[in-house]
Amino acid sequence: EAGVTQFPSHSVIEKGQTVTLRCDPISGHDNLYWYRRVMGKEIKFLLHFVKESKQDESGMPNNRFLAERTGGTYSTLKVQPAELEDSGVYFCASSQGQRGGTEQFFGPGTRLTVL
């Protein structure tokens, strides 16, 4: 069974440009999460989808970030316009259940560098 996949693995862009990250969850997982780790900080929750609906987007830093999950399958996270402080590693995870105590399976992450 394929795990969570993310694309691209690395992205280097200039400040002000737009970047779109993609996540393909494990097949059959209704729950999809985005997290990020910026330099020197903890891994922080961004948002949670249940199928195509946003269940919790309390971690989204500002309106430059837009997450979508059309059709309830893969998800995209767009940063527009990117700022220097957006640099970090963006992780996607998926799970079958959503209550606390359900294992989340993580992808390898996308390393974003904003110059």
Q: Which is nearer to other proteins, 16 or 43 (CB)?
A: 43
Count residues contacting other proteins (CB under 8 A)? 25
Place of tokens 């990250």: 21
Nearest distance, CB of residue 16 and other proteins, angstroms: 29
What track of x and - describes contact with other proteins for positions 18 through 57 (by CB under 8 A)? -------------x-x-x------xxxx--x------xx-
**Cα–Cα distance measured from residue 44 to residue 48, given in angstroms and rounded to the nearest whole number:** 12
* Cβ within 8 Å of residue 6, ≥6 positions away: 21, 22, 23, 24, 90, 91, 92, 107, 108, 109, 110
Q: Exposed, middle or buried by CB within 10 Å (0-12, 13-18, 19+), for 92?
A: buried
Place of tokens 């402080």: 85
Q: Which is nearer to other proteins, 62 or 99 (CB)?
A: 99
User: Can residue 108 be called a binding residue for other proteins (CB under 8 A)?
Assistant: yes
Binding-site ranges for other proteins (CB under 8 A): 4, 31, 33, 35, 42-45, 48, 55-56, 59, 91, 93, 98-104, 106-109
